[in-house]
Homo-oligomer: A and B are copies of this chain.
Amino acid sequence: MSEARYSIGVDLGGTNLRAAAIAPDGSVLSRLSGTTNLHAGRDAVVMDIVESIRNLRVTHGDAGLAGVGVVVPGFIEMKKGLIVGSNNLPQFEGYPVRDEISRILGAPVILENDANAAALGEKWIGAGRDVDSLVLLTLGTGIGGGIIVDGRILHGEVGMAGEIGHTTVYPDGNPCGCGSRGCLEKHASATAITAMARLMQLGENVTAADVYKIAQGEGESAKRARRIFESMGEALGIAIGNLVNIFNFPLYLLSGGPLPAWDLFAPPMTAEAERRSFTFRNTKTRIEKATLGGDAGLFGAACLGLEALQRRVVG
């Protein structure tokens, strides 16, 4: 059999559908991008995915294709290839998306959760390329998590591992839709930032980016805005301190919208993690920005396609 020249990654988001042909060295051979036409219905979205894969195959040929990885938001029951509990893709709830794409395409595809894939992408070709194990936290509406152990995604029993956004940082903290209180994502997500901005009377409809702008100014509002990022950093530090105590991994990455405010939230975050983990203080432990931005999931998807070939060759 010929050597793999590329793999296809597809990232199905609630807003955008993106696909790329990516070489084993991580270089992007070509890239397709469109909107996720959820209003056109589930079958239309599935056909858009299939078409994007077909287009890339036609362009780059079947002979050198290692595999296809498709990344979606929401939990994935790994054995069945089902999407469950995706707020962004309600029409896909319980739908056998992996097998349907495979059937129409006539080729196997690998399905993966977006945060898991992003963590794998960062490990493969991003901020984590020099380590074997890492944790990625994606800061957005909520906080997602992906855990890489010795180069592989940690899935857990049914694929729900990595729900770090719902670990408890304040047992009596803000209530969460998950049924708990004080979940990390209720104290450190982009949504948490805007909620705190309201509480601090910085405006009713400010975005996390607005709060960051206010924080860079002067006066009472700027002080309040900076206090918000301190609070966010402390919550992240508690959660990351726990992760360091549990995993003793060398690297913890953060990605997402609030990253530009790094200089404001990172110092209290690091101080808190340091205080809460003697492992942090006694081993080389880094908390850093992820580097692939919105492409991390796409790279992770392509990485899964490349691994698919390895599995077929080895096993």
Contact = CB atoms under 8 A, between A and B. Distances in A.
Given A161-B246, A246-B246, A247-B154, A278 B166 contact: yes
Contacts of A249: 156-157, 161
A167 interface: yes
A285 B275 CA distance: 32
Given A167-B242, A242-B167, A242-B168, A133 B160 contact: no
B149 A246 contact: no
Contacts of A277: 163, 166, 180
A157 B171 contact: no
Interface residues of A, number: 45
A297 B262 CA distance: 44
A283 B164 contact: no
A93 B171 CA distance: 37
A149 B154 contact: yes
A250 interface: yes
A169 interface: yes
A161 B238 contact: no
Given A167-B242, A170-B171, A248 B278 contact: no
A227 interface: no
28 contacts: A85-B282, A133-B157, A145-B246, A154-B247, A156-B247, A156-B249, A157-B283, A158-B283, A161-B246, A161-B247, A161-B248, A162-B246, A163-B248, A163-B278, A166-B277, A166-B278, A166-B279, A167-B241, A167-B245, A168-B276, A171-B238, A179-B275, A179-B278, A180-B276, A180-B277, A242-B242, A243-B246, A246-B246
